[in-house]
Amino acid sequence: MSSSGLDFTPGKVYYHGIPPVRAIPCLSPFGLKLETYLRMAGIPYEPSPPIAMGPKGKLPWIEYNGQALGDSNLIIEFLNQEKGVDLDRSLLDTDRAVSRAFVKMLEENTYWGGAKCKWIDNLDKMQDLWEVSWFIFYFYLKPAVKIIQKNMWAHGIGRHSDRELEAIVEKDLKALSDFLGSKPYLMGDEPTEGDAAVFGFLAQILWTMPGTYMYRIATEDCPNLQAYSFRMKERYWPDWDQLTGNTNKWNQ
């Protein structure tokens, strides 16, 4: 029996995260990263209801052989070892370092700009796009705003003005765009582990933030980021429309 009290199949990954909404399979860049990694690695998994926060008090988390594991990066490290997966096997050590640097830029810096843009500045507007229920909106999403504001202030990035924060995000996205160039994937001709994180973050911009400054950067200023995201979506998420039940233009 698993840590949540449910029966489990040995060797199977049970994924707990934010369920799909109309715009996207997961509203969390970390959740979408983890699911994309599982698909890239060919690891079968079963989405399970987020009956509670994970062992680190966050989503996503997984159960594996009855053990609860939290933090998307630590989960990926665990599964790499457990399943013998190495999506970076073709990379030199220097390439792995570059990939890690871009992932950390997105997760520790760019993320906060996206969180403010989506959850604070445009939350009411996004409710219609996401088609979440009033219960989820008022009892889960609205309270999250104050938590995000508090965390941004503690991090330090929340002490910047809107203009300063937007300039930071723009430089991050343009740096990613410049490095990606005309390559189909982050590090070259084939996807590597870093692509799961990059897609997880860019997908939030493209499918949940239409009309925002971040969407403009990723589509007009850096169109290769949009093309890259469509490429990843087509390769690893053939069931995207089925999961979201969405056929509007943001899903094309």
Match 């300039």 to its residue by tokens.
Answer: 167
pLDDT at 199 over 90: yes
- SS3 state of residue 196: helix
Measured distance CA(199)–CA(239) in Å, rounded:
16
Minimum mean pLDDT among 13-22, 91-100, 123-132, 198-207: which range?
A: 123-132
Closest CA to 219 of 199, 202, 200, 240: 202
Task: Read off the pLDDT band of 124 (50, 70, 90).
Answer: confident
Instruction: Note the CATH number of domain 13-83.
Output: 3.40.30.10
The whole-number pLDDT of residue 252 equals 39
Domain ranges for the chain, please list them: 13-83, 93-241
Instruction: Note the CATH number of domain 93-241.
Output: 1.20.1050
Measured distance CA(77)–CA(171) in Å, rounded:
29
Query: What is the percent of the chain where pLDDT is above 90?
Result: 67
The whole-number pLDDT of residue 164 equals 95
pLDDT at 62 over 60: yes
> What backbone phi and psi angles, to 5 degrees, belong to 53?
-65, 160
DSSP code at position 249: G
Task: Read off the pLDDT band of 141 (50, 70, 90).
Answer: confident
What is the biggest distance separating any 2 CA atoms in the chain, rounded to whole angstroms?
A: 51
Q: Write out the E strands in the chain.
A: 13-16, 45-48, 61-64, 67-70
DSSP code at position 119: I
**pTM value?**
0.90
Measured distance CA(24)–CA(4) in Å, rounded:
26
Task: Read off the pLDDT band of 163 (50, 70, 90).
Answer: very high
pLDDT at 117 over 60: yes
Dihedral sign for Cα 251, 115, 139, 199, please.
positive
Which tokens in the block code for residue 239? 């069931």
pLDDT at 182 over 80: yes
Establish whether the linkage from the previous residue to 29 is cis, with ω within 30° of 0.
no
Mean pLDDT of the residues in the chain: 90
Per-residue pLDDT reduced to its tens digit, 205-229: 999 999 999 999 999 999 999 999 9
